C-alpha cells in the first residue's frame, strides 16, 4: 500500500495500530521569519493528514513501513486463512 505525503518529513508521520485498525497521521507546523532593514516577514504553515484502515485479514505483527521522496510504503502481509470447522450433524432430541 502506498500513501502520498508530500511536504512531510519522516519525523512528522505516525503509524499506530488501534482496535484492529491501522491509523496513519501526519502533522506539520512550519514557521519562517525574515528580518530586513525596515520590516519583518513571518509565514506560518500548518498541515495535517489522517487515514485509518481495517486490519481484518492482515498479520499486524508483520507490518513494515518505509518513507522515501514523499511516498509512504506499507507492507501488509496477509494472515493465514483459518480452516473451516468440519461439517457435523446435530441430533434432534
* pLDDT over threshold 80, residue 82: no
Task: Give me the mean pLDDT over the 7-28 stretch.
Answer: 91
Could you say which DSSP state residue 18 is in? Answer: E
Domains along the chain with CATH numbers: 2-75 (2.60.40.790)
Which pLDDT score, from 0 to 100, does residue 60 have? Answer: 87
Which pLDDT score, from 0 to 100, does residue 71 have? Answer: 93
Which pLDDT score, from 0 to 100, does residue 2 have? Answer: 92
Could you say which DSSP state residue 38 is in? Answer: S
Which pLDDT score, from 0 to 100, does residue 31 have? Answer: 87
State the cell numbers at 19.
482496535
State the cell numbers at 63.
507490518
The β-bridge relationship of strands 40-54 and 64-68 is: unpaired
Q: pLDDT tens for residues 24-69? A: 999 988 888 888 888 888 888 888 889 999 998 888 889 999 999 8
Which pLDDT score, from 0 to 100, does residue 50 have? Answer: 93
| CA–CA gap between residue 70 and residue 52 (Å, rounded) | 19
Amino acid at each position: 500500500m502506498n500513501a502520498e505525503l508530500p511536504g512531510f518529513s519522516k519525523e512528522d508521520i505516525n503509524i499506530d495500530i488501534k482496535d484492529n485498525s491501522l491509523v496513519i497521521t501526519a502533522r506539520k507546523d512550519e514557521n519562517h521569519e525574515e528580518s530586513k532593514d525596515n520590516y519583518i516577514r513571518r509565514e506560518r504553515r500548518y498541515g495535517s493528514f489522517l487515514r485509518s484502515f481495517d486490519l481484518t485479514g492482515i498479520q499486524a505483527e508483520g507490518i513494515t513501513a518505509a518513507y522515501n521522496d514523499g511516498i509512504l510504503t506499507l507492507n501488509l502481509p496477509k494472515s493465514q486463512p483459518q480452516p473451516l470447522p468440519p461439517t457435523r450433524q446435530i441430533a434432534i432430541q
